[in-house]
Each structure stands twice: as structure tokens, then as C-alpha cells.
Structure 1
């Protein structure tokens, strides 16, 4: 069959699958999951590294779903390797992935399916297929592509814990489906059950970020069920396969294959349940979530789920490309944290205790890279998905109860020492201070423990419990350069950690104040001023400091240095979100602060890929330059975000933080300081934004933002809240109580 005719057939099938949607306003149409899947907008094309990619995938998944489904171009779970990059020309298969989008982390508990035809080859590099990128169909509910090497159309949709494939052989000749277990450690298991018409198995999960390669105590389990009888089968390791073998384990490049005799139709449907607890629970998740073989209905249900979530923020007016960037960003902001519990509430114990627990009427979540998502991603989730948000908070407290310490950045359901700071406590504190249902009586002792204690057991500390270098921080009021912070994934970073802990302490002080804990409030508030201790008045920027109080002379203000984590002194000095007036005074007053901040932006020192500085454009409000705030923010919105795979993101996505910044900033406000009830204003890039608030959580029904201007990328000079002139601060309570914020140009 000619390629042109194949593509016509392909387009017809895709159109049939995609047309059966509800008549309500369609938000999903604006989402393009392929945005950012190639080189980033900040890529150095002369020195390609992992930092040059957005590290995102075209994930088909429920919001915050357990398992995402994506094409695979690289057959490994090694750190920093995303399953899919759109600049690769071949597809090895379709992966059930637990990739944390936009990080330099690792996939885990995954497995891969690949349909083949004619020649039978099992190894990924041998069986890969070419594809045509411009005929891919991709949205949050559906992905389809023509595998040109085999004349097979592959389609996938999903539920919370299960995936649903439809493979259509245009000219079937020895059709087979290959399943890889994906265990890089050669510890997987797979079995074929011809009576149940299933293939099932598991891939053990291993840690990263301290404790690399150590087992977590649980696996990624799967059960794949086919609607056509299995006619032949076998297992394989790499390129060597054994026909008729039904079971195998603990082999390098382990997998299985099943074949079919297609007579009445040329397609095979595959339903796959997943779980982190057992094969039996994966099967139950499958049976409950996809009880029949109606692919179109499953896809339509997922489409509706995403449409409902995306519709929590309705936009009108503005540029068409900005619609795509906005709703794609909102989609990306709602992929993590990850659902971790089964349909019956089962989930693996946190921190490697290997005990299966059960929730009491809520969903358990994992994968919280808190250094990034505490800034804007989790605050955004609180507004658009408050039900899931409260379950996430409960999950964090359970982790502390399971492991004895509040985690600082839990991933793969384990403690880690990833990045810096104590920002799980910040996430919980922000929620509590904003009035969400947080069991603060359970959480507070663990939050306080992190702030004042270091584990007595060195093994606990090495494995990620407690703040890094806390003893030095408590002794000196900063972390001196002599403390190399060795028991951390990123060594050093003494100044960055000091700044982060000062902010974390300020947030905890606000909780102590609300709880009436006067002693803790006063002490933590003093510690919140520790940022002053790493500001070098001679250099005019933050600097590394020794235990004898002297600052290091090994200093260059615009170069990344070992005492900072992914940044320069110029970039990190502004990282005092809890006390900008105090920072202004520390730097020498408003005039010096203004000159340095303007020079920082004008000289190109601001790097949007460094998420710790995402609040920096809004600092211009603190020097009464709202006009420049708007200009700076809108320049970033236009220049650092795109609508194509290449250049769609400015660096790594950082688990939704880059996207959440876009969503907030495009609406015209941003949470500069989580733990505060204030947002700083820029201005919207749309004529109208409506936040449709869940009235079970928020008193107001809607909050409207109006931009009265012909060109929304221009700066406004007047803003009114509910008819009264307002400053550049929006209070959280004003937002959730409903109302109208109007931006205009005075006549």
C-alpha cells in the first residue's frame, strides 16, 4: 500500500477517535504535548547536554495519574534520559512511564510495548521504526502515530491506573507485540498466561539522589490483556528469544512476545493495568477502570476529565499561540505529583519499609521534587484541583509518619537529598496558612524536627532524612565553606542552602504564630534573617563564608561557583522572597537595589531556566516600577515559551514549575513567596481570565481578571479590585472570595 494511502487511512481513524467529544467548550484542543520535547529555547547548540532539553514527554494520562503513556526513543531508565525526544527519528515502542517531567532524574517501574510485523526482532535498536512527525496526533487523552517500518498505526489512551492501546496492522504479516520489562539492573520478571490471554510482570524500583541503585522495596507491576487469542509466544533477552517459553526473570534486556492470527480484523486491543503493590492489584485496577473493550469511550472519558480541569481557568481574547501555550502549560502543571495508591487504597510503605498500607478514603501520592514545585506549581494545583491537593497534603504527612522524618524532596516513594532546602514543610505550611484541611497537629512536630534536629543514626542522614548541614547552620547562622555537605546529591551549595533555610524558617515561623507557639515563632523569625550572614558588603552580592566569619576571595559575580547550586552570586542574591524590604536595606538602600536589579535584567543575567529566580521579575514592584515588571514578565512569556517541539521551553521543565510560572504570569499575578497570602501583580496577556473556583473549598464562585487594552503585551497603568483602585498586590482572600480585577490605561 502506498504511503499516501496509508496516511489517508491513518487520518480517518484518528478523526473517528477524536470526534466523539462533548459539546461544552473545548479546552483540550489548545494543548500540544509535543511542545518542548526537543531542544529548549536556551539550548547551546555548540555543546549539547541534558540541560539543552525541556525533558518533557507527550504524556497520555489522567491529571496526576499513576502511569503516563508515551512513545519511547531511548530504551533505558538511566538518570537524565527522558523516554521521548522528538528530534529522534525512530520509535522503539510505547512506554508505561513514571518519568518526572522536566528533571534530571530517572524513570522507574516502567515497561514498553512494541507492535511489529513481518520480520521479527526483539532488541529495541533492531526493531525500531521510522515515523512521520507531522502526522502524529497528540493531546492529553490520546497519542497516535504511524510506524512506517511496519505499516502499523499505534494509538493509546488511559485512565488513572491503566492504559489502553489499539494497534492496527494495515497489512498484517506475522503480527506480534513485544513487551520489555525495562530493568537496567536485570531484576525484572515476566510471564505469559494463554488461558487468561495476559502477559504480566514487574520491574523493581531503585533509588537515585543518595542511595543510588538501592532498592526501594517495591516494583512497578503490570498486567497486559489482549482482545485477540494469543497464537504463539516466547520470552527473550536482547536479541535471543525462546519460542514457547512462558516465564523468565532476572535477565539483561528481558522481555516477552505474543503473536496473533488476524482474520476478521486487522487490529489488536491491549488493556494494561498498573500498580506499585502487586500483579493482583494491577489486574484489579484494570478490571475496575477499563471493564470493557470500548477504546473510544475510554478516550472520550479521559478527554472530558482534562477538559473539566483545564476549564477551571477560562481565557478570552489575546493571541491564538498564547492560548496554546497557556493550556499546554496548565496541562503540564497537573501531571505531578503522581497517584501511588490502587483502586482499593493499597500503596507501598514510604522510605523502603516494604509493608503494603491502605489509605482511609483518600488517594496517596508521591513524586514531590519540592525545591521546584513549592514555588508556583503546588500553589497553582491548590486553585484548580483542591480535592487532589488535599490528598497530596495527607500523603506528605503519612510519609513523615512512616519514616519518622518529614521528607524534603520525596521521589519514587523514598527519601532523597535532591537539590536543597526543606520545602515539603513549606508546601504543607502554605496550605495550612491558606486554610486548607491540613492535620497540622500531626505535621507540626515533624516540621519542627527538621528545623532543629539531625538524625542520630548516620545511615538515616545519608539516606536523606533531615536537612543537610543543619548543625553548621544552627551553629553559625550560615553554612561555612568548611562544611562540604558531602552527604547530599549536590555537594557544596553552602550559600544557596543558607538562603533556602532562612526562607523555610520564615514560613515555619508563620505556622508557629498561627498555632500560638510564641517561643518557636520568635526563634524561627530570628533565623529567617540568616540571609544577611552570606551577603558580602564588600562584593555587594552573596558570597561564600568561612567559619572564622571571613568571606572567600574566590569570587566572580556572574560565574557559577561551588558554594551555589546552579547559579551565580548575581542570580542568587535576590533569593530572599520572604523579606524583600530587608534585602533592600542589606544591599545598601533603594537606590543601590534599583540600580543592581535593573542591571541584572538589562545585562541578560536573569536566566529563566533557573527556577529559584522565578520571582525576580516581580521584585521590580518593590521599587515601584510596575511598568517594568509588566514589560519584563511579558517579554519572558513571549521569548522563553513557544508552540513547537524545539524552543518550546526555556530549559528543563522542572516538574511543572516552568509551566506554572507561565499560567500565573499570563493571568497577571504570581506567588512570589509561598507561605504568604500575597501575590504580586504584573498584568494579563488576555482580555479576560475567569478562575472557576470550587465552592466546596473557596467562598467565591468566580474571580475575573479583565485587561482593557488593544495590545495585551503593552503595560497598563491602572488596576482596580471590585471597583476600587488597587496597588500591585493581590491578597489571596480577595481571590478566593470572588470578584473582579480590572487592568486599564488611564486617559
Structure 2
């Protein structure tokens, strides 16, 4: 368990090592990424869990020094905010836009107050481990503990003696949608739904989340509240805790509205523990109750907490590491933990789930239905890594994507709970499907998947996936237009997608599509400007855009040609044709010079996906591989830490964490679809990857490093299964089948 009070951290570390010496879960620090816009959270969640119980501390508070600022925030928890207003039960990890962060449960003491601007509290003594979180609510002297199952959460509140309250707030959260409904079922149970969505301000990505809340206590008074302004001069007979919240103390039926909630009040004895159970479903209230009953009946809080920890530990055991520092292990296993949060399951215990882009309710057996596909981010690292470590999960993810096509007519781009948000560029589903298939994971509806890929590539009027596709199909680039400023970044994503389409066409024996798609994938050459040796927007007439500034966009200002980045952060983003780019730049020396400038002049952004593979590109220049080793270790040490600011930016549903996992192991897939990993020096002395024997037919991969000092990061020699190896690339097939890489490392680069 990780304590937020890092003054006690060293002593705690020793205790943790004695108690959990070899358990991977004991190294996880859920606070990593909770500042510096990492957008992660320290709450309780299961691997790929539908429910996460998270402290909500980003609500502004009038006149309180601990309040969050009014600035935009995409996560329910920020490490340095000490003012919290409850525990949310549906959340997103590492995303760049706000949504969910709702169904908030808050315990208080004293007189009932339902005004969110007034009932919050500072917190202290925070502790977190996989599947568990606890803190002290200072204002109320309440110990709050939370844990979770796959589809439900449970909170345990330890109260002091006196008046006590439990608030269920449906009016606040991170979602851009409003509106909720509550119905009292019994003296200690409510049910209802909350409207969610409009992720990244996409107006159509709206969905309800259904819930059942059950408080394990009798003899409580209860009622509703609703936000309602008092009109000047009007007379009111209702009770109110403030100028804006109306209490319903006698009305016990149903309530609907935007800022509504329900409360339960009682007289607590000293040290009394009250548990609050929350079941969730995206199908119906009945399913939410069934999920809760199926996953919590006859289980105590401690049993659920232990079950969550054991499940996490078993999942994390897929990789064993030896050597390295304690902080190295914490960074590594925390990254693996973050990798396993999304995509998360969508189906209920009875197999039902909401169909993609419709109101239909479908059902499945013996398969997980996944949701939250941030594919522009995750195609680069997350899905290739899941294919290696958890291939059975990756197969279900691809099956889910194909089913989404069958249900809606399109593969997902940025899907969230059965709705398409149309966020970011390109056509990333094609990349994930081709990459998965080529890794030998072929047990899905391949013909249907390929049909969908062709539809995506050839449809000219789908403005959400391939805008300007008619021009692109003919000219192999997207022109710069005054009212559209992401032309180059959009085209670069399509080039990688078309490269993967070509690879898939080859697998399918479709020679015509292979030739056309491969030709399109090389269209980046249209953008190459010999003067700057960078990519530059091009007009419809084939001329370079005037007023080009290659560093415009480094502060997220509006950019001509590039989305959330500069030309420098996109100009090497042609992983499928690095050698071709090298020739355009005038050969390997000029290529290396230009790439080196990117790092030397701080033009590289570790948090930006298009350039996250840059450190590995030196491996394409014979004799310069040591630069990759230097830059990779520099990135690991500079941008990743065992601290709340331990991620360089939005984790993007595990994308940055997956980069770290690969890099600390010493392998990296520069281009999804291309079955070659490029090599660098590992951080650990030994890495053992346990393979799924039913799929890969092998038990494990071992990566070893022979070094005298932790500063020995440069490769002096490589052996594969005991034989000398003189390349810095290894195929996926050879990695699986040969299974043993050994590095000889030294302090000075091999030149």
C-alpha cells in the first residue's frame, strides 16, 4: 500500500518489502500520474473494471484555500487538492477530456447540509493499493475506505459519535451532460440513472448509467434534494440548507432533475462502521441490482478488498523483474497497473450490453465486451503490448471492434460506452486489427473485419473518419485549407492506417488493394520541404503553405497543419518508412543530425504520441544505435518518476505507461503492423514474460542484462539463445520462439 504522506514513505517501504517481498502488486503506486496532467486516479478498481471508486476533489469551493482552481480538468482527483466532496463510481483514467466522474457518495456528520459548496472537507492520511483506497475526512473525523468488484463498489465509513449523514449526489461530476432520476426502493436502498457523455464536446456521445445504492444500516431518516433558486420576494414553505437547495423530507416517491440527490441521516455510535454498496450497469436498473447482488452477496468489505488485491497481483505476475532499484520496480508495475484499466468491460453479469450507436440491448456468452477505445493513442503501444502479454484480452477487444462495425456500420475511432466521440485524427481501428492479426491472433471474424477496413478506406463522404477522402484517394495527401488546420497530422495517421491496410490486404491475397494502399502510405513525401528538412502543409495546388513556422504549436496554440503539436513533433512520424524518410533528408548522417536537434533543442515532447517513438529511430542508422540507448534511458529517468508527477502528461488510457513498460524491458514496436521490435538496453537485470501457452505455444521470454554498474546502459553485445546477434531488431515470431535475449552492457557507447 502506498501512503500519500511521503515523510513516512521510507519506513513504509521497508515494511512493505518485508510483508510483500515478491508480490508485484505491492510495488504499485496508484498516486503516480495524479498531477502534471497525468489524469490518473488513486481509487479502487479491478483490472478492466466497469466501476472505480475514486475520491472526488476537483470541485471548486467558495472561499476555501484548498479548493481546486476554475481551470479545466479531465480527472476526478488531483494529488495536491485536499478539498474533497465524495467518492465517484464511474471514471476514466488518463484521458484528455472530462466525462463521467459521477454517482458521488459523501459521508458527513452534524446538521444536514446538501450544498456541495459547503459540505466538503480536507483529507489526510491517504493510502492506496490496487483495489483499495482510504483517507481521513478531517472536518468530520471519518475514516473512509473503498474497494471494488468488477461492476460494483463498496465504501466503509467509520463515524464518530453523533449525528451522521450519507449523501448521494447526482448533480455534480466531470460529465458535460446533466440530468438524473432517483427512486426510493426501501428505507436503505435507492435506484436510478444519471445521464453521461458529450465526451470532448461530441454532442452525440450521450448515454445513461444506471445504479442501485444500498446502505447496510437500519433506522435512518431519508429524503431528496434539488437545486432551486429562490425567487426574490417569493414565499416558500420548504426547508432549505442554503439559498439554492430544496429539501424533500416527506416526499418519498421519485425525483428527476439536473442537480438532485438523496440523503440518509442517523445517530452514529462511536466507531460505528457503515457500508455503502453501489451497483452499476449501462443497460438497466435491474441489471445494476443483479450486478451488485452477484458480486457482493455474502462477502464482507475485507473479503472484497482481499479479492481485488489478489486479482491484481495475479494479473501483474505476467512479468517478473529482477534487479533495478525499488523506484524502478514501482514505476514499472504502476505502469502495468495503468495499462490494465482501459479498455474496460461493458457487459453485465448476465452478458447484456448496449449496442454500438443504437438503443438495442444485445447479449453475449464466454466473451468480454470492451469499451473506452482511445485508439489514436493506444494503437501505438497499448494494443501491441496487450497482444504480447494478454493475447486472450486483445482477441476479445478486436472481436468487440468487429461487433461494433456489425452493429453501427463503422469500426470505432474513439468509442465510449457504445457511442462514437470522433476524437483525434486518422483511422486507427485498421491499425489495431492488422497488427493483432499479424501477431498470430486470428481467432476473430477476419473477413468481416477486412470488409470494414475496406469500407473505411474507400468511403469518400465520412467526414468523421477520413475527411477529404476523395482528394486523398486521388492525390495521396490532404491539402491545407484556411478553415482547417490539421491537414498534415490527419494525413500522417492515414498513411500508417493505409500501410496496415496494405499488410492486411497481402494477408488476404488482395493484390490490388495492397498496391493502392501501399502507394497511398508513401504520400508523406508530398509534405517534405527540403529547405527545413521537415514536413510542411501543402495547398490544393501542390504548393507549400506560406508563413510556415516549424515550432508553432509547442504551447497548444492554433497550428496550421498539425494537431496538438509542432512540425518537429510530426516530421519523423512515418514509422512505416523510416529508411525512405532518411533518404529524403539526404542520408543517414543528415537524418541523425536532424533527429538529434529535436532532442538537443528541446523540440521533443514525451507526452505527445506522434513523437514518442523518436528515441528509437537512431537504431535505423548503423553505428548510431547508442544514441537510442542514451535517449531511451534519459526519457525513462527524466519523465517517469515514483511520485504524483511521475507521468509526462495524460496517460491516454495507458499509452504512456505502455511506452515505459516496453522501454524498461529493452524492446519497442516502432511501427504497429510491422512485426519487428527494435532493441535497447533494459533497466532490469532480468525480465521474465510469462506467455499464454494456449496461444503462443511457448512458456516465457527472458531478457537479461550483464552489467557491472547501474550506469552501464550501452550495448556492447547481444546474444539470442546463446548465439551472437548483430542486429538491433528482432521479429515478433523470433522473440516468441527463441525467447532469450541477453545484453552485454557497458558505460561507454559502442562506436
TM surpasses 0.5: yes
Structure 2 residue aligned with 1:380, among 377, 385, 389?
385
1:56-75 matches, cutoff 5 A: 56-75=40-59
2:162 touches 2:267 (CA, 8 Å); kept in 1? Answer: no
Q: Which residue of 1 aligns with 2:579?
A: 581
Q: Which residue of 2 aligns with 1:734?
A: 734
Q: Secondary structure at the match of 2:263?
A: strand
- Alpha-carbon distance between aligned partners in 2 of 1:516 and 1:156, rounded to the nearest angstrom: 53
2:205 touches 2:421 (CA, 8 Å); kept in 1? Answer: no
- Alpha-carbon distance between aligned partners in 2 of 1:396 and 1:277, rounded to the nearest angstrom: 19
- Alpha-carbon distance between aligned partners in 2 of 1:236 and 1:357, rounded to the nearest angstrom: 35
Question: What are the superposed Cα offsets for residues 165-220 of structure 1, whole Å, 9 maximum, x if unpaired?
Answer: 11111x1311111001146644201122225x3122111223334642x463x411
Structure 2 residue aligned with 1:208, among 199, 207, 212?
199
- Alpha-carbon distance between aligned partners in 1 of 2:200 and 2:447, rounded to the nearest angstrom: 30
- Alpha-carbon distance between aligned partners in 1 of 2:398 and 2:542, rounded to the nearest angstrom: 40
1:5-84 matches, cutoff 5 A: 25-38=22-35, 40=36, 53-75=37-59, 80-84=73-77
Question: What are the superposed Cα offsets for residues 421-449 of structure 1, whole Å, 9 maximum, x if unpaired?
Answer: 11111111111111112311111111111
Q: Which residue of 1 aligns with 2:65?
A: none
- Alpha-carbon distance between aligned partners in 1 of 2:110 and 2:200, rounded to the nearest angstrom: 43
2:716 touches 2:744 (CA, 8 Å); kept in 1? Answer: yes
- Alpha-carbon distance between aligned partners in 1 of 2:276 and 2:636, rounded to the nearest angstrom: 41
Point out the more displaced range, 238-247 or 357-366.
238-247
Question: What are the superposed Cα offsets for residues 640-691 of structure 1, whole Å, 9 maximum, x if unpaired?
Answer: 011111x311122121111110010000011111111111111111111100
Q: Which residue of 1 aligns with 2:743?
A: 743
Q: Which residue of 2 aligns with 1:411?
A: 416
- Alpha-carbon distance between aligned partners in 2 of 1:177 and 1:296, rounded to the nearest angstrom: 21
Question: What are the superposed Cα offsets for residues 338-365 of structure 1, whole Å, 9 maximum, x if unpaired?
Answer: 21110111111111x1111112321111
How far the C-alpha of 1:700 sits from its partner, in A, is 1.2
- Cα 1:680–1:571 change in 2 (3 A) is same
1:235 touches 1:247 (CA, 8 Å); kept in 2? Answer: no
TM-score with structure 1 setting the length: 0.90
How far the C-alpha of 1:620 sits from its partner, in A, is 0.5
1:228-247 matches, cutoff 5 A: 228-238=217-227, 239-247=245-253
1:368 aligns with 2:365: no
TM-score with structure 2 setting the length: 0.89
- RMSD between aligned residues: 2.4
Q: Which residue of 1 aligns with 2:170?
A: 181
- Cα 1:210–1:438 change in 2 (3 A) is farther
- Cα 1:658–1:629 change in 2 (3 A) is same
- Cα 1:301–1:373 change in 2 (3 A) is same
1:346-357 matches, cutoff 5 A: 346-351=352-357, 353-357=358-362
1:90-169 matches, cutoff 5 A: 90-99=83-92, 101-108=93-100, 110-132=102-124, 135-169=125-159
- Alpha-carbon distance between aligned partners in 1 of 2:552 and 2:582, rounded to the nearest angstrom: 23
- Cα 1:210–1:547 change in 2 (3 A) is farther
2:98 touches 2:200 (CA, 8 Å); kept in 1? Answer: no
Structure 1 residue aligned with 2:190, among 180, 194, 199?
199
Point out the more displaced range, 508-517 or 374-383.
374-383
Question: What are the superposed Cα offsets for residues 487-537 of structure 1, whole Å, 9 maximum, x if unpaired?
Answer: xxxxx2101111111111011101110111111111111111111111122
Q: Secondary structure at the match of 1:308?
A: helix
Q: Which residue of 1 aligns with 2:715?
A: 716
Q: Which residue of 2 aligns with 1:402?
A: 407
Q: Which residue of 2 aligns with 1:529?
A: 522
Q: Which residue of 1 aligns with 2:488?
A: 495
Q: Secondary structure at the match of 2:415?
A: coil
Aligned residues: 698
1:298 aligns with 2:289: no
- Alpha-carbon distance between aligned partners in 1 of 2:488 and 2:45, rounded to the nearest angstrom: 39
Q: Which residue of 1 aligns with 2:236?
A: none
Q: Which residue of 2 aligns with 1:550?
A: 543
Question: What are the superposed Cα offsets for residues 51-104 of structure 1, whole Å, 9 maximum, x if unpaired?
Answer: xx21111132111111211100124999743111111121100001232x2222
Unaligned runs of 5+ in 1: 1-6, 41-52, 456-460, 486-491
1:187 touches 1:249 (CA, 8 Å); kept in 2? Answer: no
1:109 touches 1:205 (CA, 8 Å); kept in 2? Answer: no
- Alpha-carbon distance between aligned partners in 1 of 2:611 and 2:737, rounded to the nearest angstrom: 30
Question: What are the superposed Cα offsets for residues 429-471 of structure 1, whole Å, 9 maximum, x if unpaired?
Answer: 111111112311111111111111134xxxxx46x4x323222
2:76 touches 2:91 (CA, 8 Å); kept in 1? Answer: no
- Alpha-carbon distance between aligned partners in 2 of 1:483 and 1:428, rounded to the nearest angstrom: 34
How far the C-alpha of 1:248 sits from its partner, in A, is 4.2
2:505 touches 2:513 (CA, 8 Å); kept in 1? Answer: yes
Point out the more displaced range, 706-715 or 138-147.
706-715
How far the C-alpha of 1:106 sits from its partner, in A, is 2.4
1:520 aligns with 2:513: yes
